[in-house]
Amino acid sequence: MGKLFYVMGKSASGKDTIYQELLRIPELRLTSMVLYTTRPRRAKETEGVEYHFVTEEELARLEKEGRVIELREYHTIQGIWKYFTVDDTDLDSRDYLAIGTLVSYEKLKNWYGKERVVPIYIQTEDSIRLERAIQRERKQEKPNYEEVCRRFLADSRDFSEENLEKAGISTRFDNNEELSACLEQTAGFIKGIITKNSIVQ
């Protein structure tokens, strides 16, 4: 029985980089569970890597097939963006790594079962996150700083201490200084669970 390790954190916490680096560690043998979105693809993003970028029509088809586990809508400056998870995994035979929000984590936990979904919460000081977010947005073809501010404030609500406690998130991984230290700690945590799980089986 496989595990689904679910990476989450506020915007610009470094979760995307941690997620990509964990996938590159051969001994973990993690399969990427790629989420879906209707938002426009950003510069340097690749279809099927960061997200599956789909149309509203494709989303409607997946919903009709009963394959959409959870769906979130965000009212942005550029319109409504939808992010969602599709049941396209084989948890009976492999371990997966996914990335998303606290709300999506809870829905996947309900879908697959609490014992199969493991939270990986990356936390970073707000001042560091804001600097990173601005630097990242500056590299876009058409920077949208209003959206950066909206996401920053929304994350404070979405990942409040109350919400984290409700979701049962107790283990956290700090990414305030060297990313390598956070990555090492996170990888060690995952490896320990995989090893224990294989012994039990």
DSSP string, 66-95: T-EEEEEEEEETTEEEEEEEE----TTT-E
Confidence (pTM): 0.83
Residue 201 confidence (pLDDT) above 70: no
> What is the distance between the alpha carbons of residues 194 and 95, in angstroms, rounded to a whole number?
8
188, exposed or middle or buried, with CB in 10 Å at 0-12, 13-18, 19+?
Answer: exposed
129-179 tens-digit pLDDT: 999 899 989 998 889 999 999 999 999 999 999 999 999 998 999 999 889
| Average pLDDT of span 42-60 | 92
Residue 194 confidence (pLDDT) above 80: yes
Confidence of residue 105 (pLDDT cuts 50, 70, 90): very high
Confidence of residue 200 (pLDDT cuts 50, 70, 90): low
Question: Which pLDDT score is estimated for 141?
Answer: 85
| DSSP 8-state assignment for residue 40 | P
Question: Which pLDDT score is estimated for 76?
Answer: 87
Q: For 112, what's the count of Cα atoms within 13 Å in the CB-facing half-sphere?
A: 29
Instruction: Write the single-letter amino acid at 130.
Output: L
Residue 64 confidence (pLDDT) above 80: yes
- Tell me what percent of the residues of the chain surpass a pLDDT of 70: 99
Residue 127 confidence (pLDDT) above 80: yes
| DSSP 8-state assignment for residue 41 | P
Q: What is the mean pLDDT of the chain?
A: 92
2-39 tens-digit pLDDT: 999 999 999 999 999 999 999 999 999 999 998 899 99
